[in-house]
Structure 1
Amino acid sequence: MVGKKQGDYRPRRARADEGEAAETAQPSETATQPTTEDRIAASRRAERRAELQQLRDSVAASDVDRADRPDVGHRDNVAETAVPPHRRRRFVLGGVIALVLVAALTVGYLFWSDQRGTPSVQPPAPSATAPIDTSMVNDQAMLNPALAKSVIDQRWKITADQPAGTPDSPVPACLAEPQDDAPIPAEGVVRTLTTASNGPTALHLAEAYKSAELATESFALIAKSLGECNLKGSYIASARVITGLGDQATAVLLKDPAKNTYRAVVANRTGRLVNVVDIAQAKTEPDLDKAATALGRLTDRQCTAAIGVCASNPHIADGPPPVAGDEPGFLALADIPVPTSHTGTWGGLSPGSPADVVTSGCENVDFNTISADSRAARSYILVDKPKGMPETFGLDQITLTMKSDKAASDEADLITKNLKNCSDRLPTADVNDLSTVSGTGADDTAISGSVALVSQKISANKTSKYRVGIVAAGNKLVYTFLPRTPDWDLTQDQWETLTVRAAQRATQVR
């Protein structure tokens, strides 16, 4: 099935009807004028590309290392005013007018050139919009047992090669949900590899597009899906920021605590070709760095035919997942582990004021009055209200944009000191396991702070227990809070990761 021709291909993320399939066919030699429907579809696609570009990043195009990083985003935070609807319509109208003017000038130039005769020219160099080579997704372009062995040292074998996008085709983790209006690949193959019975498995999806622009749009959608992964029972345990591995790349590690299983998912784009490699293993997490390195070696085989960047100098580092979630700047649902009860589905409430959040009392500050440029809070609850869940169980995140990096760091240090000395002020309070956390946010922003366990004796027979976290990341001050019981809690490692992740998400907005 490797190298399946376009005529037999069905897209993975959008089940195309016959009208859509017609759009993927090679253009006839006789040019036709676009219909009204074609123009509307093109306009919608342009709007979606602009939105995805803004979600993915808004860094300067001249900065190659940052411009294609899915972890970088500089959208306005929730405290800043959105563009009014009438202004958005004006922008769209302006874009349409500009497109019409460009088309008119192009037609005029072609007519004028035809009247003057055709001068001799050199043959054009290959472009990113050249007709697709049906052999681009061939056996050499697919993950093989030797590369899989470099990630997990076991004996691998190819189980199947299938056309991607059919109802029976497997899909990588996080990509099961169809994407309406997603670009349609010209060809695609999904390969599965296995080891011994119940051993690690691997899946490689490779899709080739008619242009680098379509491939870029597809990669943006994939990155967003990885950043807000909907794999039931799993959460994003770690992520990698990757540069130099093709034109664009990203990676996440998913963990399902109840099943004790892991998925290492690495995605990249080189020119017109998009790859997703998904390696699953139980009990032991696959090495995400090795998976990315294996994809780099594979990319070096693909880049010439795909007219893309190879993987001559990849750089792989810990960092935030791709920008995603329904409220950028706050934790995505995929960031939050299922409680220790192994039941419940997290959902996020609309952002509000820090005044609505009840803290442990040991912080000894009012997040609603601290001097800051902006502030917002968001609460997360188990929307299915599983049996036995305490009424007070839920997660809170408070994010303040301070006036400077130093102001954020000083405030985090002050709150950490207040937590440490809480028993001196409140004899009924007890603070344990105060430990430091650190990490890296978007744009390589340093993250540092503390997490702790707080107990407050309410009465002779009742004690309330909480997990708290406070970190600074650039000019962001981020606080996390979780009431806990033995059956409704997160582990210490999960809490440390989640507190750092909250700061990472905060750095993905201004």
Structure 2
Amino acid sequence: MSDTESGRPRRALGPFDDDDVNDDDLLDDDDVSAEPSPSRAWTVTESEPSDADGGRTDEPEVSTPIPPPAPALPEPLQPPEAGRRFSAEPVADDAVAGAPRRSAASVSSPPHLDEAATPPVGVDATEGEPATTEGETAQNPRRRMMALIAAAVAVVVVLGVVLWLTVGRSGTTATPATTSPTASTTASESPSATPALLDANQLLTSADLARLRLKNTWTEAPPANGAAPTPACIELASAGGVSPDAEASRRFTGSADGGVLVQVAQAMADVQAATTAYEALLNQAGGCADAHLLGAYQIDGLADSATVLTTELSDGTRHTMLISRTGRFVGVIDAAVTKIPAVGVGALSRAAASSLARQCGNATGTCPSTPKAAATLPPATDPVGWLAWVDVPQLTPGEGKWTATDAKAPSLVGSQCEDVSLNKLPGTSESAHRTYLLTDDSKAPDGFGIDQAIYTFSKASAATAMAKTLDDNFKSCGDRTRTATVDDGGVTATGADGAKFTGTSYTVTQRISATKTVTFRVGVTAVGTRLVYLLANPSANFDFTDKAWEALVGRAAQRVTQYQ
């Protein structure tokens, strides 16, 4: 109090509206008394005079007994700061302090009539030293600021430790974290689980197959005979030589054309294992003993590697089989129908894109963009470079088996139109010959088969020149022999990276008597430094179609590029 002010004591503020209360002036709700405010006056604790007054202030008289006094506060060294609850100013003789507001449990509130007097909150009754209360801490801006800073630092430290434990360790691959249930999980909040590496949710759906084949609806169906769905011509257990980390499969049936679609996907340990499995699956499908391999197609824009093979099995079903690898995942989709045409290569690739898009993230592989199909070489077979069983069609549905001799020096007679020695073709550096025989076909004539010879030249131009010589000789055979009739047709085939091969197929009919003829089918194609020659001996009632023979000549051209 300044020297110019009155000598009257400072008094507590009278009651005011709750809307004017500052929260900083209130203690926590737990410290608020539930008792009503007393209706009588109470005694203000005797305080020492300030240095300015130099005298003592007598205690005011009251008409009621005085409770035991609280311990006296120590004499302040300087005038009290704003916000202190006790006045250091002298109190006038006639001053009576009114009861303070009880809206906040102040240390200066009087006790209830039935309660024993207790020291103010925060004061040690035995030592008489004041203690810091929560109210005082809240009212001290400096303490509040320090408390806020300390809390902020603690939060930053905790967050830093959590982040370091989560992603701060170098040299690891990010994986979905496992979340286990905690006590805070409520009935409406189910704890999150680690996403499955590979499951049925990543496979094809009926909606994905809606445009696979016109007028055909595909419906998910249980596996036949309760066994896991298996694509044709493939043994999944032996693919790659190792077991997958996870596997998922699904089977669909079509509403028409006897359609059945099977999808199997496998998650391998790593990309290398998946690559090995992919090549093994491709070789299995490409060398299926029960299939005639019709075509092979490379699919770009679908996965890291993808190939479609079209085949016809001995039961007459036509299969369009997509084999793919994306990251560490490998998969097979086998779509089969009993009526031609087979499921389209492009249609199957586009449908598969939906499933592979759901797999590529977990597989850490290439995701689909716009799939594009292009004809390519079929998977190599053993022995490499020669026709395989899968290349030769069945002439009687469900019957027949092809066998072959080992490669040896040529021993050929030919169709009598070649006009050169097939056993020692001019300009060759080496040559070999195999014979394929058809057995177990009730309709095949005795000795029905195919001869294949491969001739190697020192230059590609020499091989091309010999092919041209043979072509001229076949076309002039009728005029030259007077006994032969020759029909020819052009052959084209596609190699690796879109390379084009050309050749010619010939049908030669030789009259051996006035009433008898013999027929030969011949094929000639030059690929690089090699020339391939094919010869078959059909009969009037047992023969290849023109289209099938032309396809076989084209396949021989593809195979010879794999020759070693």
In the TM superposition, residue 255 of structure 1 has moved relative to its aligned partner by 2.1
Change (3 A) 1:417 1:159: same
Question: Helix, strand or coil for the counterpart of 1:145?
Answer: coil
Among candidates 261, 265, 273, match of residue 329 of structure 2: 273
In the TM superposition, residue 455 of structure 1 has moved relative to its aligned partner by 1.0
Within a 5 Å distance, the mapping from 1:387-406 to structure 2 comes to: 387-406=442-461
Answering whether residue 173 of structure 2 is matched by residue 126 of structure 1, we say yes
Residue 231 of structure 2: aligned partner: 172
Corresponding letter in the other structure for 1:145 = S
**Considering only aligned residues, what root-mean-square deviation do their CA atoms show, in Å?**
2.8
Larger relative CO (CA 8 A, sep 6+): 1 or 2?
1
Residue 535 of structure 2: aligned partner: 481
Structure 1 CA distance for aligned equivalents of residues 539 and 443 of structure 2: 11
Among candidates 249, 252, 274, match of residue 215 of structure 1: 274
The structure whose Rg is larger is 2
Structure 2 CA distance for aligned equivalents of residues 177 and 190 of structure 1: 12
Question: Helix, strand or coil for the counterpart of 1:160?
Answer: coil
Structure 2 CA distance for aligned equivalents of residues 247 and 288 of structure 1: 18
Question: Helix, strand or coil for the counterpart of 2:273?
Answer: helix
Structure 1-normalised TM-score?
0.69
Change (3 A) 1:147 1:121: closer
CA contact (8 A) 1:208 1:273 kept: yes
CA contact (8 A) 2:463 2:530 kept: yes
Among candidates 320, 344, 347, match of residue 287 of structure 1: 344
Among candidates 296, 300, 310, match of residue 239 of structure 1: 296
Residue 309 of structure 1: aligned partner: 366
In the TM superposition, residue 122 of structure 1 has moved relative to its aligned partner by 4.4
Q: What whole-Å deviation, never above 9, does each CA across 1:305-363 have from its counterpart, x for those lacking one?
A: 10112233544211221122x21100111111012476311112211122x23311212
CA contact (8 A) 1:161 1:190 kept: no
Answering whether residue 259 of structure 2 is matched by residue 203 of structure 1, we say no
Equivalenced residues, count: 379
Within a 5 Å distance, the mapping from 1:8-47 to structure 2 comes to: none
Question: Which deviates more from structure 2 when the two are superposed, residues 217-226 or residues 176-185?
Answer: 176-185
Question: Helix, strand or coil for the counterpart of 1:150?
Answer: coil
Structure 1 CA distance for aligned equivalents of residues 469 and 403 of structure 2: 31
Answering whether residue 497 of structure 2 is matched by residue 438 of structure 1, we say no
Percent identity between the aligned chains?
A: 31
Corresponding letter in the other structure for 2:431 = R
Instruction: List gaps (5 residues or longer) in structure 1.
Output: 1-119
Instruction: List gaps (5 residues or longer) in structure 2.
Output: 1-166, 179-193
Corresponding letter in the other structure for 2:260 = T
Residue 385 of structure 2: aligned partner: 329
Corresponding letter in the other structure for 2:255 = A
Answering whether residue 248 of structure 2 is matched by residue 194 of structure 1, we say no
Corresponding letter in the other structure for 1:158 = E
Change (3 A) 1:181 1:207: closer
CA contact (8 A) 1:161 1:189 kept: no
Structure 2 CA distance for aligned equivalents of residues 292 and 390 of structure 1: 42
Structure 2 CA distance for aligned equivalents of residues 406 and 221 of structure 1: 37
Structure 2 CA distance for aligned equivalents of residues 212 and 127 of structure 1: 17
Q: What whole-Å deviation, never above 9, does each CA across 1:172-197 have from its counterpart, x for those lacking one?
A: 11114863872211221221011226
Residue 289 of structure 2: aligned partner: 230
Answering whether residue 464 of structure 2 is matched by residue 409 of structure 1, we say yes
Structure 2 CA distance for aligned equivalents of residues 197 and 441 of structure 1: 35
Structure 1 CA distance for aligned equivalents of residues 502 and 425 of structure 2: 23
Within a 5 Å distance, the mapping from 1:460-471 to structure 2 comes to: 460-471=514-525
Change (3 A) 1:181 1:316: closer
CA contact (8 A) 1:249 1:269 kept: yes
Q: What whole-Å deviation, never above 9, does each CA across 1:470-508 have from its counterpart, x for those lacking one?
A: 112233311111100133221111111111001101112
Residue 492 of structure 1: aligned partner: 546
Among candidates 183, 205, 218, match of residue 156 of structure 1: 218
In the TM superposition, residue 397 of structure 1 has moved relative to its aligned partner by 1.4
Change (3 A) 1:286 1:198: closer
CA contact (8 A) 1:445 1:474 kept: no
Change (3 A) 1:255 1:341: closer
Structure 2 CA distance for aligned equivalents of residues 397 and 167 of structure 1: 45
Among candidates 345, 349, 364, match of residue 401 of structure 2: 345
Q: What whole-Å deviation, never above 9, does each CA across 1:5-52 have from its counterpart, x for those lacking one?
A: xxxxxxxxxxxxxxxxxxxxxxxxxxxxxxxxxxxxxxxxxxxxxxxx
In the TM superposition, residue 396 of structure 1 has moved relative to its aligned partner by 1.4
